[in-house]
Structure 1
Amino acid sequence: MPLRPTPRPRQAATGLQGTLEAGRKAFAEARFDRARACFETILKSAPTHAESHVYLSRIAWETGDAAQSVAQLERVAALSPDSPRAQLALAERYGQVGETEKALAAYDRATALSPAKSIAPQAEKARFLQALGRFEEAAAIFRKLIKRHPGEAELYSIFLGGTRLPKGDPVLRQMRKLWADKTLPETKRMHLGFALAKALDDTGDPDKAMAVLDRANAIQKSLAPYDRAARDSDWLAMRDAQADADLTPPQGRMTPRPVIVCGLPRSGTTLVEQIIGRHDHARAGGEMGHILRVAVRQFEREGVMTPLSQIPAPERATYAATVARLMTRDTGATEGVVTDKSIRNFQMLGWIRAMLPEARIVIVTRDPRAVALSMWRNHFQIGTHRYANDWADIADEIKRFRAIIAYWKGRMPGVIHEVRYEDLVSEPEPVARALLEHVGLEWQDRVLDAAATKGTVQTLSLAQVRAPISHARREAWRRYETRMAPFIAAWGDETWD
């Protein structure tokens, strides 16, 4: 008879579990050195412990070591050759570091390892293809998935983010049929609604599109209610943490050099970022989020941010170095300019000015009616932009943004460069030239060439930024002006400009 494996002593098993729990806790608290030591200790006695390799990959990623993060996930995939989950994690990381073909191959392996009815591997591959601008390949995958899974409403939402449906398209007919199904769960109806509305609008039926959007937004509002008071409190706390600080920029260099592009969702920040990112000496980082995330990790205590004025120079230097390392991780840039268009950066402009050497700040503004309509027409991840599902809340958020920018302009005169979206799409070259001059880059014609867009684009504007700039987008909101009456009423007498 075959030999039975000798059981490990109970004490040893208990010791491993204790070390594992200590490592998990340290990771959750962002004590990465402590967490790394725990998982490396486990691997000395149990080298095939896959969870420890997963955590070491996450630690490497959080500390800016992209190569080690990939290597650890490759180890996990080798230890779990039959795991589609391991391949999906590896595919995502390959995509993040620009290993496009390796990412696509890993998605294919995940698909091959998954049950025949599994949706996620193919849907994630199609989403990745969209981010790369390979819309036809993505569409082919989505159409096959929708044909096999017509009731999966989120598929339509992702698919329509990268394509326009013609009249009579079978996918549009299927969406109409599903929308009429009274048994459709509300969450699925929400996803379907945003997709169906886009298709109806694309095929020339804006009134029906807006009626569908009213329903979809009402559902999302019920799933993620908005608290204006909490929003105000959040901004005031962030402002107070910067209120009495000296906003003189720090001496020295930061490599790569950050350019912060701020604006409300759907205001044109992606277009502005891509204009900069197409330059030979620049990379577009997208919504990286490091400025706030590292600040919270390093300086927040019991939910309260350390006042900027009380942070000593050595800690500021550590903060800037950490942000730079993570920007390099996300973009591969070790020099030149890197853009960050994270939404909440506009609340931290004083922090950015005082903490990040050589940082430049760009604000993007757009007609509030165009911003409001675009918010209303697009689905945001639940909980991220709670104000975007109510016309009055949208008006309140745009006014808050304006007030915050006016505050920072007053605190830092001449520091902030403003780009009006309407001016950019009407006269792209002079606006783009002024933009590049502000961020410290020489003019290159390629910055206005949509085909020169590099890498992936991970925002709702992934299709628009790969198309030529068009002034036709300037006042598209006028087609919906009567349906926007609640927003216009909530806006009141404040000027639009």
Structure 2
Amino acid sequence: MATSQQLAQQIERLLASGANNQVLGLCDTAIATSKREIEAWLGRARANLALARVCIADEDLDMALRLAPVHAQANLLRGQLDQRLGNIDKAVDRLRKLALAKTAYSIEASFALAETLFYSHRLDEFQQFIAHGGAWTADPRAAFFRARARARLDPAGAIDDLLEINRQDSGTVLKRIAGFDAVQLLDKAGRYREAFDVATKIHNESTPTFDLEGLLRGVRQQAELLKKGAPWFTPRADAHKGVAMVVALPRSGTTLLEQMLDAHSHIGAIGEYDGVQHIADGVISAGFTMQSIGMLPRELAKAMQLEYLNGANKFKRAGTEWAFDKNLRAWSRLPVIAAILPGTVCFHVARDPRDMAISTFLSFFHPISDGWTSSMQSLRTVIEAERSILPQALSVLGIAHEQVVYEDLVADSAGHASRCLERLGLQMEPGVLSPERNARAVFTLSHAQVKQPINRGSIGRWKNYEFAFDDSWSALAAAHDARRMR
């Protein structure tokens, strides 16, 4: 039998190679021999997190901490998971204690703490933590967080720091993040051409070739199936109640709607929960396609639905009736939602395609899974694909839904929020119209914007980058304008 150290080494090797299911098998075997094998519980937690099985990972970590309450790695993972679950106070408290301790995980805890404070807008605490220093400052990542702290008082100096990190750092992830932080500051400073040129350079240097055709192929297949004018399958699981979901591309104004509705006493936002992606992957792994999803065994569909709902309930605020899922993959996976999550209420959110495109192009997105964001041409192509199936897919598939145009939501927040709430069987509450007062932390690109009162500041942003748009955008823009309520 392998020792705990040997088991830990095996787990590390497998996790590094992405063999998460093998890790689960290895850990389950170890736990069958001894339920007190903490390395196995930690390995399970890490593999389940990688597989988007948040609820199971949460249980694994609980077991690990029952066995060893002061285990440094277990506390680091718990702090990171608490952040993801929205338990910010708990995350900050745990990570701060670990950051101050002298363990092998103190430096990682320091960076996790800095990130949590930054995105939760506890900026005074963030500044104080950065200024206090510590062993973590010897790590190359420290320069990046110091630049973020500097941006609050000296944005021009922070731009220089971030661009220097982007030029010199050899790590692709940090290089890319620092570069896009600089792009955002350049944009705020009105240095639009510089912002665009830096973003273009980052995309060219750090985005690998993306299989755009693979994404488009799936959308085209759905478009053909939707021509039937009716669902080509019956739901594979029973209808449920309590899940509302965004259907939109990134940078469409979804975070504003999320924060507005989360302010309602009966709604709990769950962020960009990856449960839908996990279901879609499971359908493919089981050998089914969008066309053949009607043949998916009901027991399998029921298990997929239960796992999704367990995760959604774990994320949402205690005592709320509705979970609001802001995942950005649902738009291309609506047959999966209709088949396995019937009863879900969807909100299709659309924004001026030019505003959406430039906002996306100037922002950090994962270079592999979201590689289509790396050029204005591919952005336009994906927006065209999305609008070729929406909103009609929602009607054809019989999914309860509302359409929300971002510009209309800003112009008449009370009217459109009331309409969305009525779809959920709820009445308006005053807090819905003051999303900037929502204490919920937002770990998305819009984390700063939603801390401001509802405003028109981002409408027409594309005009600052008019040089990036040609006549090929005219049809999309006209179609969007026609959707607006007058």
Q: TM-score range by the shorter chain?
A: 0.7 to 0.9
Tell me, in whole angstroms, the C-alpha distance in 1 between the residues paired with 2:39 and 2:410.
50
Say if 2:441 is the partner of 1:456.
yes
1:137 pairs, out of 125, 129, 149, with 125
1:159 pairs, out of 148, 167, 185, with 148
Tell me, in whole angstroms, the C-alpha distance in 2 between the residues paired with 1:106 and 1:79.
11
Shift of residue 117, structure 1, vs aligned partner: 12
Indicate conservation of the 8 Å contact 2:88/2:116, yes or no.
Answer: no
Tell me, in whole angstroms, the C-alpha distance in 2 between the residues paired with 1:192 and 1:57.
30
Residues 176 and 252 from structure 1, CA distance in 2 versus in 1: closer, same or farther, beyond 3 angstroms?
Answer: closer
Residues 178 and 128 from structure 1, CA distance in 2 versus in 1: closer, same or farther, beyond 3 angstroms?
Answer: closer
1:40 pairs, out of 24, 27, 31, with 31
Moved more, 237-246 or 421-430: 237-246
Indicate conservation of the 8 Å contact 1:129/1:135, yes or no.
Answer: yes
Indicate conservation of the 8 Å contact 2:361/2:373, yes or no.
Answer: yes
Moved more, 211-220 or 466-475: 211-220
Tell me, in whole angstroms, the C-alpha distance in 1 between the residues paired with 2:2 and 2:171.
46
Shift of residue 348, structure 1, vs aligned partner: 2.0
Shift of residue 208, structure 1, vs aligned partner: 2.5
TM score, norm. by length of structure 2: 0.81
Residues 361 and 29 from structure 1, CA distance in 2 versus in 1: closer, same or farther, beyond 3 angstroms?
Answer: same
Shift of residue 284, structure 1, vs aligned partner: 0.4
Letter in 2 for 1:69: D
1:190-222, CA deviations, whole angstroms, 9 ceiling, x for partnerless residues? 43321222222223322332232222222233x
Indicate conservation of the 8 Å contact 1:77/1:87, yes or no.
Answer: no
- In structure 2, the residue matched to 1:124 is 112
- In structure 1, the residue matched to 2:92 is 104
Shift of residue 367, structure 1, vs aligned partner: 0.4
- In structure 1, the residue matched to 2:432 is 447
2:161 pairs, out of 174, 178, 181, with 174
- In structure 1, the residue matched to 2:483 is none
Residues 156 and 36 from structure 1, CA distance in 2 versus in 1: closer, same or farther, beyond 3 angstroms?
Answer: closer
Tell me, in whole angstroms, the C-alpha distance in 2 between the residues paired with 1:433 and 1:251.
30
1:466 pairs, out of 448, 451, 462, with 451
SS at match of 1:279: coil
Shift of residue 263, structure 1, vs aligned partner: 0.9
Tell me, in whole angstroms, the C-alpha distance in 2 between the residues paired with 1:144 and 1:209.
32
> Structure 2 matches for 1:252-263, cutoff 5 A?
254=240, 257-263=242-248
Say if 2:227 is the partner of 1:233.
no
Tell me, in whole angstroms, the C-alpha distance in 1 between the residues paired with 2:351 and 2:380.
13
Moved more, 167-176 or 427-436: 167-176
- In structure 2, the residue matched to 1:199 is 185
- In structure 2, the residue matched to 1:94 is 82
Tell me, in whole angstroms, the C-alpha distance in 2 between the residues paired with 1:454 and 1:168.
26
Residues 186 and 253 from structure 1, CA distance in 2 versus in 1: closer, same or farther, beyond 3 angstroms?
Answer: closer
Shift of residue 365, structure 1, vs aligned partner: 0.3
Q: Which runs of 5+ in 2 are unaligned?
A: 481-486
> Structure 2 matches for 1:216-227, cutoff 5 A?
216-221=202-207, 224-227=208-211
- In structure 1, the residue matched to 2:379 is 394
Indicate conservation of the 8 Å contact 1:88/1:110, yes or no.
Answer: yes
Residues 299 and 197 from structure 1, CA distance in 2 versus in 1: closer, same or farther, beyond 3 angstroms?
Answer: closer
Shift of residue 462, structure 1, vs aligned partner: 1.3
SS at match of 1:363: strand
- In structure 1, the residue matched to 2:308 is 323
1:399-457, CA deviations, whole angstroms, 9 ceiling, x for partnerless residues? 11111215504624784311111111122111111111123221111111124425332
Residues 124 and 399 from structure 1, CA distance in 2 versus in 1: closer, same or farther, beyond 3 angstroms?
Answer: same
Residues 63 and 299 from structure 1, CA distance in 2 versus in 1: closer, same or farther, beyond 3 angstroms?
Answer: farther
Indicate conservation of the 8 Å contact 2:45/2:61, yes or no.
Answer: yes
> Structure 2 matches for 1:3-14, cutoff 5 A?
12-13=1-2
Say if 2:291 is the partner of 1:300.
no
Tell me, in whole angstroms, the C-alpha distance in 2 between the residues paired with 1:43 and 1:353.
42
SS at match of 1:462: coil
Letter in 1 for 2:144: L
Shift of residue 289, structure 1, vs aligned partner: 1.5
Shift of residue 330, structure 1, vs aligned partner: 2.1
Moved more, 386-395 or 116-125: 116-125
1:71 pairs, out of 62, 66, 82, with 62
1:274-329, CA deviations, whole angstroms, 9 ceiling, x for partnerless residues? 22211101100111121230343366335857822113444433332222112112
Indicate conservation of the 8 Å contact 1:268/1:421, yes or no.
Answer: yes
Considering only aligned residues, what root-mean-square deviation do their CA atoms show, in Å?
A: 4.1
- In structure 1, the residue matched to 2:330 is 345
SS at match of 1:297: helix
- In structure 1, the residue matched to 2:346 is 361
Tell me, in whole angstroms, the C-alpha distance in 1 between the residues paired with 2:307 and 2:275.
9
Moved more, 413-422 or 457-466: 413-422
Say if 2:414 is the partner of 1:432.
no
SS at match of 1:417: strand
Larger Rg: 1
SS at match of 1:343: coil
Letter in 2 for 1:40: I
Residues 468 and 150 from structure 1, CA distance in 2 versus in 1: closer, same or farther, beyond 3 angstroms?
Answer: farther
Tell me, in whole angstroms, the C-alpha distance in 2 between the residues paired with 1:55 and 1:461.
33
Letter in 2 for 1:448: L
Tell me, in whole angstroms, the C-alpha distance in 2 between the residues paired with 1:349 and 1:372.
23
Letter in 2 for 1:272: L
Residues 330 and 489 from structure 1, CA distance in 2 versus in 1: closer, same or farther, beyond 3 angstroms?
Answer: same
Indicate conservation of the 8 Å contact 1:58/1:69, yes or no.
Answer: no
Shift of residue 65, structure 1, vs aligned partner: 5.1
SS at match of 2:260: helix
Letter in 1 for 2:219: W
Shift of residue 493, structure 1, vs aligned partner: 4.4
Tell me, in whole angstroms, the C-alpha distance in 2 between the residues paired with 1:294 and 1:124.
29
Indicate conservation of the 8 Å contact 1:352/1:359, yes or no.
Answer: yes
Moved more, 317-326 or 183-192: 183-192
SS at match of 1:473: coil
Tell me, in whole angstroms, the C-alpha distance in 1 between the residues paired with 2:214 and 2:443.
28
Moved more, 194-203 or 274-283: 194-203
Tell me, in whole angstroms, the C-alpha distance in 1 between the residues paired with 2:97 and 2:171.
33
Letter in 2 for 1:319: M
Tell me, in whole angstroms, the C-alpha distance in 2 between the residues paired with 1:38 and 1:451.
49
Residues 436 and 307 from structure 1, CA distance in 2 versus in 1: closer, same or farther, beyond 3 angstroms?
Answer: same
Letter in 2 for 1:439: L
Shift of residue 357, structure 1, vs aligned partner: 3.9
